[in-house]
Structure 1
Amino acid sequence: MPDLAYIASLPRTRGAAAALLLDDLGRVMLVKPTYKEGWYLPGGVIEEGESPLTACERECREELGLAPRLSGLVCVDWGPPRGGVDAVNVFVFAGRITAAEIAAVRLPPDELSDHMMVAPEKVAEFAPGHIARRMEPALRGMAERRAVYLEDGRDPGLPDQAAAV
C-alpha cells in the first residue's frame, strides 16, 4: 500500500499541451488570448487525470472548434516559474491543418480574439519570447520525426541535441 501522506507531500508540476499546426504553405497557426498579451499556439492546461495528448485534442476542439490531425510529440519544454505561476511542462504535438479547416475555425470569444497563419520565422514578432524560442526546435523535431527537450525554450546542451543544432 502506498504511503499516501508521503505522496501528498511531493511537489507538483503543472502541465500544458499545445498544437504546432502547419498549413500546406508551412505556416504556423497562432491564436490571440483575450486574457494576456501576445500570440500562442492553440492549447492549454492539462486537467487532472488527463494525458497530454488528450488535453491537446480537447483544447483544439474548445479553442478552434475542430480536431486537427496530430502526428506526434515534437517537443517537451520545461518552463520555469514566471510571474507568480509555478513551473510547467509543456508538451507540443505537431499536426496539419487544411485551408478548409482554417476557414472553419470558431474561436470562443471569451477566451480568444483572433487567429492567424504566420511564417515560422515571423513567430517571434508576435509571440512572447519563451514561445518564440520553442518554435525552431519544435519544427526541427517535427521534420526529424522525434521529440526535442527544452528548458524555457532553449536546448540545455544534451549531447544528442547538440549534434542536431
Structure 2
Amino acid sequence: MSAQHAGDPAAFAADVLEEGPAEVEYEPGIAARRPGKTSAGGALIRDSTGRVLFVVPTYKPVLDIPGGMTDENESPKAATIREIREELGLDVELGPLLVVDWTPRNGVWRDCHQFVFDGGIVDDASPHDDELEAVVYLSLDEARPRIYPSLHRRLTLALKALDAGTTFYAEFGREV
C-alpha cells in the first residue's frame, strides 16, 4: 500500500476502484515479455552535525543508506518507510523526493530505479535488524572508500537537491 494511503486503506481501495477494471491484453503474452525492472527507496538521514547515516549490512561488503528494494505492489516511499522501521526501529516522516536515479544491471541484479527521500535529522540511530552489523555517521568524503562510486554521486546530488529545494534525475548517479 502506498505511503500516502498507509493510514487510510479505504482511500486506497477507493482509488483502485476508481481506476476501473483491470486492463486486458489485446496481444496475449505482451506483458509477460516486458523486462522486469526493480525499484528501491532510500533515505538521506543526517545527524545534527550534517553527517550522513549509513547502515553496515551483513550481506554485502559496502555501506548503504537506510532503505531497500520495493516489494511487489509497494511504492518506493512506502518501502523506504518500511525498511527504516525494520532496520532502525524508527518511524520517520519522509520529506521530499531528492533524487531519482537509474542504475544499470550489475551482476545478478537487474537495472533499477532508485529513489532517495529526505529522511531528516536523526541523532544516535542504532540497528534493530539482524541484517545490520552497525550504523555509522560519516561525511561523504569519509564514506567514499566504503560505498559504491554511484552511491557517492547519488548522495552528492541528494545533498545538492536538499540545499536547492529541488529534485534531480540521474543515471548511474550522474545528473542528466
With structure 1 as the length reference, what TM-score do the two structures score? 0.85
Where do 1:10-159 residues align within 5 Å? Answer: 10-99=34-123, 102-103=124-125, 105-109=126-130, 111-156=131-176
Structure 1: distance between partners of 2:53 and 2:117: 13
Tell me which stretches of 4 or more aligned residues in structure 1 moved more than 3 Å: none
Structure 1: distance between partners of 2:157 and 2:102: 13
Identity %: 35
| Pair member with larger Rg | 2
Unaligned segments of structure 1, at least 5 residues: 157-165
One-letter amino acid of the structure 2 residue matched with residue 26 of structure 1: G
One-letter amino acid of the structure 2 residue matched with residue 2 of structure 1: V
Q: C-alpha root-mean-square deviation of aligned residues, in Å?
A: 1.5
Structure 1 residue 2 corresponds to structure 2 residue 24: yes
Structure 1: distance between partners of 2:94 and 2:165: 12
One-letter amino acid of the structure 2 residue matched with residue 82 of structure 1: N
Cα contact 1:64–1:106 (8 A) shared by 2: yes
Structure 1: distance between partners of 2:122 and 2:39: 28
Cα contact 2:98–2:166 (8 A) shared by 1: yes
Structure 2: distance between partners of 1:34 and 1:129: 20
Structure 2: distance between partners of 1:144 and 1:121: 21
Deviation sequence 1:54-110 (CA, Å, 0-9, x none): 0000000011111223111000110100122110110111121332xx25x33312x
Deviation at 1:24, TM superposition (A): 1.4
Structure 2: distance between partners of 1:98 and 1:34: 22
Structure 2: distance between partners of 1:36 and 1:121: 20
Structure 2: distance between partners of 1:52 and 1:98: 21
Structure 1: distance between partners of 2:162 and 2:94: 11
Unaligned segments of structure 2, at least 5 residues: 1-22
Cα contact 1:30–1:39 (8 A) shared by 2: yes
With structure 2 as the length reference, what TM-score do the two structures score? 0.80
Deviation at 1:132, TM superposition (A): 1.2
One-letter amino acid of the structure 2 residue matched with residue 28 of structure 1: V
